[in-house]
A and B are shown apart, each in its own frame.
Chain A
């Protein structure tokens, strides 16, 4: 059974500092997604990583994928309050069906 583990589960950030969220998964996959969820809302797609070594950046967020280590990271640069949310990584091991296995989420709170 595929396992997707995120850590930390909770991250209290100070504005202006840098942080990293880690996503480990237990089986081979070349497709990894990062989503953001605000409380009571739906999931917003942040990044799709489709190959080993893929790196994508959008604003203060940067995601990377190492398929050999089965690890993805989401790096936050100079955190701001607007980034407070829960971040999920998800893996599609079959790479053909969008049947995603999600991590448990990392709840991020950015304090002034």
Chain B
């Protein structure tokens, strides 16, 4: 069981470029969550998805950020026209469903915007 796989682990972008972060959930998990961690802070919820559906995107910035979890393939968090404030660690987590399921987190993707 490979766990939650995220890639890339590290990504460097210049201001104005696009960043795409990928997440493959654990085998058997159909629920994916994205969290952002700014330096020296806790994680902040961004979005919750199931296959082909966004369930809750209340933590997503209104502009430049989008997420998807297609029928086939990984979940993708897309950040357009990145700015320095987007520099953070982006963690994906998965669970088999709602309820008292402990989230399993991936190793994170660390985005640096120059």
A residues contacting B by CB (< 8 A) are: 4, 31, 33, 35, 41-43, 45, 48, 50, 88, 90, 96-105
- On whether A102 and B102 interact (CB within 8 A), knowing A41-B107, A43-B91, the answer reads no
A98/B48 in contact, CB under 8 A = yes
In the complex, A106 Cα to B58 Cα: how many Å? Answer: 26
Q: Please pick, from A4, A31, A35, the residue contacting B100 in the complex, using a CB distance under 8 A.
A: A31
B107/A98 in contact, CB under 8 A = no
A96/B98 in contact, CB under 8 A = yes
B42/A102 in contact, CB under 8 A = yes
B42/A98 in contact, CB under 8 A = no
- On whether A42 and B106 interact (CB within 8 A), knowing A50-B100, A96-B99, the answer reads yes
In the complex, A97 Cα to B97 Cα: how many Å? Answer: 8
Which residues of chain A are within 8 angstroms of B58 by Cβ–Cβ distance? 99
In the complex, A50 Cα to B101 Cα: how many Å? Answer: 11
B107/A42 in contact, CB under 8 A = yes
CB nearest neighbor in B for A44: B105
B38-68 contacts to A, CB under 8 A, are 40-45, 48, 55-56, 58-59
B55/A97 in contact, CB under 8 A = yes
A101/B105 in contact, CB under 8 A = no
B98/A104 in contact, CB under 8 A = no
List, sorted by A's number, 7 A–B pairs whose CB atoms are closer than 8 Å. Answer: A42-B91, A90-B42, A98-B31, A98-B93, A99-B33, A100-B35, A102-B42
In the complex, A105 Cα to B43 Cα: how many Å? Answer: 9
Which residues of chain B are within 8 angstroms of A103 by Cβ–Cβ distance? 42
B100/A48 in contact, CB under 8 A = yes
- On whether A105 and B91 interact (CB within 8 A), knowing A97-B55, A98-B48, A100-B103, the answer reads no
In the complex, A45 Cα to B91 Cα: how many Å? Answer: 14
